[in-house]
Amino acid sequence: MAMAKNKTQCFTCHKDKITYPCKGCSKEFCLIHLTEHQQNLNEELNHTINDYDEFKQKINEQKQNPQNDLLIEQIDQWERQSIEIIQQKAQECRKIVIEYSQTFINDIENKFNNLSEQIKQIHQENEFNEIDLNYLRNQLIKITQEFNNPSNVSIKENSQSFIKEISIISSKKPKFNKWKQSAITVAGRNGEGRQLNQLNSPDGICIDEKKNIFIADFRNHRIVEWKYNAKQGLVITAENKEGNLMNQLSSPTDVIVDQQNHSIIIADLGNRRVIHWLNRNQQILIDNIDCFGLAMDKKEFLYVSDWRKNEVRRWKLSEYNNEGIVVAGGNGQGNQLNQLSYPTFIFVDEEQSVYVSDKQNHRVMKWRKDAKQGRIVAGGNREGANLNQLSYPHGVNVDDLGQIYVADCWNHRVMRWCEGNDKGEVVVGGNGQGNQSNQLNCPMGLSFDGEGNLYVTDTSNNRIEKFEIVQ
């Protein structure tokens, strides 16, 4: 504050004195009342600090019990009304709310800590004015309102059957990956054939840690390994012709890599068996099964879809001499929530929920572990090309955010659905049936590599397409 050269009227005592301007309020004060004014500012700062301390206490209390009471109460009420069928879903929702609340409180605490540092600095330097105090008050009001009104999370209820399905929805949208719309052909590209640089109606694929592609080459009755950036593939099954001997295949539909044991498991559709292939040695794991899709979870359980029995069964590794356990379907062919109609590819998440491409029902179903019926998570609105429809879905994959990717075969596109949404979105393809770099022709299998690049089995074009992720 600079000293004035001429006498002016003090704002407090209204007397003409040597005054000193306050830059914060733009008023003039005599020396006595300038000191008083500064004391008043100090008192206001102390009040503000007390308000911050009280808010800090609220944060600490919330951290001890990081739950949004209103949302939890709604979930608990829903759980009591729906009893046993939806208790598992209620637990999932609680987990999401608790994780959200913890993240929310951490964000608030970070903002609060930043403001607290500014207060400490102002207090230590003893150089502040009304502008500074107004800023601090406004910031405290802002984060207090945000703390008291977490409006970016709510409950969404969908009426379904005789229960109400609920899910946690947030206005904070997750980051959705995007891919280049023009693909790179990484396997095939030389037309239909059985040469090493050709494929014939490839079906399921699997990508290993080194970006090598394992392909179920359906009409060539073989499994081909196409190494990263290779010009041609390597046939890793002994015979390159159809047959039912141990070293032969008949119309394989899917393949998965058991990287821990450096082996592959094959759905040998035409021979109605699942084969384990290790260093040219073959072992029948499951026989007399109309297998189509395969999946393995982190606990080394093997899942197999049976298109004729309209079910998915699970086996524990090294215990394939039993009939396995039905984990989806198994109630005859149909379109009810406990039924399937020609299940094809499957995916299993970390919670052992099974996602099934229910081909002839034009939908993807999710069956939670030990559930008696599934839930429609994509399609289910009859066959069609609208964003809420699918047409004979095949490959299915789910990312870490729970977003579901579907090879929408007869619509010649790959769709992404967020569970609970009424419709999906096209991520690649969808430009009509064709063989251009931005087109697909009956896509069947799909997979991702470690970098998030999307691989699609472009079956009727006899090639594997790679859509690079947009960073």
Q: What is the pLDDT of residues 267-298, one digit of tens each?
A: 999 999 999 988 778 899 999 999 999 999 98
* Residue 157 in this model has a pLDDT that exceeds 80: no
- Entry pTM: 0.66
In this predicted structure, what is the pLDDT of residue 84? 63
In this predicted structure, what is the pLDDT of residue 159? 52
Q: What is the pLDDT of residues 247-271, one digit of tens each?
A: 899 999 999 998 777 789 999 999 9
Matching CATH number, 178-470, of 3.40.50.300, 3.40.1280.10, 3.40.50.10070, 2.120.10.30:
2.120.10.30
Q: What is the pLDDT of residues 390-399, one digit of tens each?
A: 999 999 999 9
Q: What is the pLDDT of residues 336-367, one digit of tens each?
A: 999 999 999 999 999 999 999 999 999 999 99
Q: What is the pLDDT of residues 400-432, one digit of tens each?
A: 888 999 999 999 999 999 888 889 999 999 999
Q: What is the mean pLDDT of residues 420-447?
A: 95
With vertex at residue 29, the alpha carbon angle to CA 25 and CA 34, rounded to the nearest 5 degrees, is: 90
- Which has the higher per-residue pLDDT, 37 or 131? 37
Return the SS3 of 409.
helix
Structure confidence at residue 4 as a pLDDT band (50, 70, 90): very low
* Residue 3 in this model has a pLDDT that exceeds 50: no
In this predicted structure, what is the pLDDT of residue 347? 97
Average pLDDT of every residue of the chain = 87
Q: What is the pLDDT of residues 14-68, one digit of tens each?
A: 888 888 888 888 888 898 888 888 898 898 888 888 888 888 887 877 776 766 6
Residue carrying the six token digits 């999401």: 96
Q: What is the pLDDT of residues 167-223, one digit of tens each?
A: 666 665 556 789 999 999 999 989 999 999 999 999 999 999 899 999 999 999 999
What are the backbone dihedrals phi and psi of residue 360, each rounded to the nearest 5 degrees, phi first?
Answer: -80, -10
CA distance 335 to 187: 36
Nearest one of 411, 398, 402, 403 to 444, comparing CA atoms: 411
- Which has the higher per-residue pLDDT, 144 or 447? 447
With vertex at residue 224, the alpha carbon angle to CA 219 and CA 227, rounded to the nearest 5 degrees, is: 145
In this predicted structure, what is the pLDDT of residue 299? 87
What are the backbone dihedrals phi and psi of residue 304, each rounded to the nearest 5 degrees, phi first?
Answer: -135, 130
- Paired with 163 in beta bridges are 160
Nearest one of 332, 412, 406, 411 to 376, comparing CA atoms: 406
In this predicted structure, what is the pLDDT of residue 92? 79
Q: What is the pLDDT of residues 81-98, one digit of tens each?
A: 776 666 677 777 888 888
> DSSP character for 238?
S
Element holding 18 (H helix, E strand): strand 16-22
Domain ranges of the chain: 8-57, 178-470
In this predicted structure, what is the pLDDT of residue 186? 95
How many CB atoms within 10 Å of residue 410?
A: 16
Q: What is the mean pLDDT of residues 379-388?
A: 95
In this predicted structure, what is the pLDDT of residue 72? 78
What are the backbone dihedrals phi and psi of residue 52, each rounded to the nearest 5 degrees, phi first?
Answer: -65, -40
Q: What is the mean pLDDT of residues 101-111?
A: 81
CA distance 452 to 471: 10
CA distance 208 to 465: 16
